[in-house]
Amino acid sequence: MPDISDELLAHAVAAPGFLPTDEGLALCRALEDAVAARTPDRTGTRPVAVEIGSYCGKSTVFLGAAAARTGARVVTVDHHRGSEEHQPGWEYHDPALVDPHTGRLDTLGTFRRTIAEAGLEDTVVAIVGRSPDVAALWRTPVDLVFIDGGHTEEAADADLTGWAPWVRRGGLLAIHDVFPDPRDGGRPPFHIFRRALASGQFAEHAATGSLRVLRRIDGQPGTPVT
């Protein structure tokens, strides 16, 4: 069981989203593991976790709880317009999250409220933008990357290509919605999970439900994952 307060756990459970609590706790534990395994560098920089796909902040609170306790920082990357399954006519669409001025989904306000109410505004840095666009500018080694963005093949491939290279050796790569049986869910997260393993740079570290956590065993930050 990760070290998360009852208050933060309640905030995480109450936040809108689709991450089961056991997987959220496993994500929290993964960041604790990544920080514990970290070799401090000479600059004394804080550990960093990057979350791809925040929605309304449920998973961010789980990560933030571990970050606040360990001195890490969480950077979230999301355009806050929702993934494919959040759009009108799809199963996970929530009309309450549609901006009446634009007619488009906009989860940013709810996300900010979730983080503020959890008291994590000093721990979480939110970047509003498309994952590939932000990844093209990123040059910082990361202790944990959590991929839970778009679930098309194109989006999942771009998230792995853009962010997995920045996981430091010994750091962790977490991927959500990995279903080995195609009857249980979509294939793109499973495909990038298999691609990361096939690269020889990552090995399995832990699994809870559909959450898979890999540890980087080879390659320096910035090395492409092929």
Measuring CA to CA, how many Å separate 31 from each of 53, 113, 133, 216? 17, 23, 25, 14
Can you tell me the distance from the alpha carbon of 180 to that of 77, in angstroms, rounded to the nearest whole number?
A: 26
Of 151, 158, 114, nearest to 17 by C-alpha is 114
Torsional sign, CA 31, 9, 60, 195 = positive
Question: Among residues 11, 79, 80, 151, which one is catalytic?
Answer: 151
User: Which positions ≥6 away from 198 have C-beta within 8 Å?
Assistant: none
Catalytic site residue 151? yes
- Which residues form the catalytic set? 151
